[in-house]
Structure 1
Amino acid sequence: MKVQPFTIGLVQMRCAADRTENLDRAAHFVREAADRGARVICLPELFQSPYFCQMEDTALFDRAEPFDDSPSLRAMQAVARETRTYLFVPFFERRAAGLYHNSVALVDDRGDIRGLYRKMHIPDDPAYYEKFYFTPGDLGFVAFDTPYGRLASLICWDQWFPEGARLAALRGATVLFYPTAIGWHPYEKETHGAAQRDAWRTVQRGHAIANGMYVAAVNRIGFEPSPTDELGGLEFWGSSFVADPQGVIVAEAPTDEETILLAEVNPSRLEDVRRNWPFLRDRRIEAYDGLTRRFLDS
């Protein structure tokens, strides 16, 4: 079946301390995006709360939700059913005692769960202490069948790894969503901030180009102070964007405003770009065995 052009929506938002408030505001933004024509909508990473990985605290595991009994998913399932949209819903997943994931579920327009992705690459940087909380995903890089073609989602730190984007493309994904929580450390923003944000944009535009697909990154905004260091905290840089299969930025949000970002996805555009830049055709798959090794020691 030929897929017609359709509109995607990215919800760039602030995240408050109260989960119910965040769910209500996310639902409001989803409804507005749907009213403006979005058929597939993505929320930012761990949007139910401030970014809690700035510190290591075992009490914060209480925020995790079982996949089969998640208040966040139930709330968004109802909104998806109401708005007749497909929603990518990130959440902190409790799989078992002591076993947690940073996950995203795809909810269809009937409110049913279409698929689940668990974040594969887990960072451990100052104020991004995710290895304390999250087990690496074990579902692989997946793409989900929808009336809008095959769609995929990776999560935040996955953005920096070309292998994940490539495997999503090889699974047939035409749009790759990256729910995100990324920002500046205030003390290094002046000297490194512009380069950091530019690198973030550039690497994802590269994924769009190398794989001939649309890439959509959705970030949160706002300054969230450190719970342990009064001079610390993170300033999330927003800048949500959509790049087309040639890496052209077709829509972009500001750094500091809540935004419903809309962009048209045209499958014919993807077809045309891949015919002229046939990277998938020219891959030398017989020569890539080294990619499964940590490092090619001499």
Structure 2
Amino acid sequence: MPASRRTLKVGVVQQQAWPDKAKSLAASEAAIRRLAADGAELVMLQELHASHYFCQTEDTDLFDLAEAIDGPTTQRLADLAAELELVIVGSIFERRAAGVYHNTAVVLDKASGLVGTFRKMHIPDDPGFYEKFYFTPGDAPSLQVPRRGFEPIDTSVGRLGVQVCWDQWYPEGARLMALAGAELLLYPTAIGWDPRDDEAEKARQKDAWTLIQRSHGVANGVPVIVANRVGHEADPSAVSDGIQFWGGSFICGPQGELLAHGGVAAEELLVEVDLARSEDVRRIWPYLRDRRIDAYGDLTERYRDR
């Protein structure tokens, strides 16, 4: 017998962003309000939605963009969540201490305000994506503080497995979230093309990005929510041609089936997700049951040298 139907109206905001925080956040707020008016219960914004993607170059002055966890961006989103009676997943450049900064997802609940955070765990360092200059990786669990790392966040609409951008390429994080009871996997993202790449290479990159995240849904039997930014952002150093962010935000079900898929322009996605389908899918595809946990110890090694 199928599990009881339990649906959730999920919204995704795909927007352009600017160095002007007021302008960027105004665009985010307008989109959230439109989704709320259409019945959204959960809305996710893209990575670093409050500013331009500043990691194209290394500039110490840009640390001034950072805020405390409970700073103005978080407070603005918390006020919106309370007013519109929904859950919002946002993104901030967090100043934790002098010299310690994080790329942090914040989760705001309609009745409880800030209910959880996730500090980006995997930090890239590639041409145009110099994130190691700006971001400290999130803390791993320890005996002193076990509830760190890949830990879902409980909200009024369900248990959310939130990660950030580069984390989306790693099946280990998705699996750990699922094993801790995450009902949805959510990935705020900032990814795009080098405009100099040819069309075939662009297609391969975007297809791989979509495929890896849909596969997390399949492998874990849970829906996946992805928000990416759009628009061209110039490289302030003029070393490159900047980044053309490709959009392509999507929502998929627990078998990787696409429920909504964005294009290359600013837009919102809204779809009703049946959370109970995860139970049905896991009954016929019991990957968690059949895992050989006794044979996976080497996964904690960097590489298996022979």
- Structure 2-normalised TM-score? 0.94
Quote the Cα distance in structure 2 between the aligned partners of 1:128 and 1:76: 26
1:33-182 equivalence runs, <5 A: 33-68=35-70, 70-110=71-111, 112-138=113-139, 139-182=148-191
* Structure 1 range deviating more: 228-237 or 179-188: 228-237
Per-residue CA deviation, residues 144-184 of structure 1 (Å, 9 max, x unaligned), is: 22232211210000010000000010110111110000000
Instruction: For residue 135 of structure 1, give the secondary structure of its aligned residue in structure 2.
Output: coil
Q: Is the 8 A contact 1:150 1:173 kept in 2?
A: yes
**SS of structure 2 residue aligned to 1:38:** coil
Separation in structure 2 between the aligned mates of residue 33 and residue 153 of structure 1, nearest angstrom: 20
Q: For structure 1, which segment, 267-276 or 53-62, has the greater mean C-alpha deviation from structure 2 after superposition?
A: 267-276
Q: What's the secondary structure of 2:103's corresponding residue?
A: strand
Number of residues paired by the alignment? 295
Q: CA deviation at 1:229?
A: 1.5
SS in 2 for 1:46: coil
Mapped contact 2:94–2:102 kept (Cα < 8 A): yes
Q: Work out which of the residue numbers 13, 16, 26 in structure 2 matches 1:14.
A: 16
C-alpha deviation, 1:4, in angstroms: 2.3
> Counterparts of 2:274 and 2:250 in 1: how far apart (Å)?
16
Contact 2:160 2:183 in 1 (8 A): yes
Unaligned runs of 5+ in 2: 140-147
Among 229, 254, 259, the residue aligned to 1:250: 259
SS across alignment from 1:76 = helix
2:288 is the counterpart of 1:288: no
What's the offset of the Cα at 1:110?
A: 2.2
Is the Cα contact below 8 Å between 2:86 and 2:109 reproduced in 1? yes
Q: Deviations over 1:73-129 (max 9, x none)?
A: 011111111100100011000000000000011100125111010000000011000
Question: Which residue is 1:238 aligned to?
Answer: 247
Cα distance in 2, alignment partners of residues 185 and 217 from structure 1: 21
Moved more, 223-232 or 113-122: 223-232
* Separation in structure 2 between the aligned mates of residue 190 and residue 228 of structure 1, nearest angstrom: 25
Q: Is the 8 Å Cα contact of residues 14 and 268 (structure 2) preserved in structure 1?
A: yes
Cα distance between partner residues in 2 of 1:81 and 1:204: 30
Q: SS where residue 186 of structure 1 aligns?
A: coil
Q: Partner residue of 1:278? A: 286
Please give the per-residue CA displacement for 1:274-293, whole angstroms capped at 9, x wherever unaligned: 10000000001111100111
Q: Cα RMSD between the aligned structures?
A: 1.2
One-letter code aligned to 2:166: W
Cα distance in 2 for partners of 1:110, 1:24 equals 23
Alignment of structure 1 residues 27-38 onto 2, 5 Å: 27-38=29-40
Structure 1 residue matching 2:160: 3-state secondary structure: strand
Within the candidate set 246, 269, 277, 1:261 is matched to: 269
Q: Please give the alpha-carbon distance, in whole angstroms, between the structure 2 residues aligned to 1:192 and 1:102.
A: 28
Paired-residue identity, %? 48
Q: Name the residue aligned to 2:26.
A: 24
Answer yes or no: is the 8 Å Cα contact 1:78–1:111 preserved in 2. Answer: no
Letter in 2 for 1:125: D
- What is the CA–CA distance in structure 1 between the aligned matches of 2:49 and 2:133, rounded to whole Å? 19
1:260 shift after superposition: 0.9
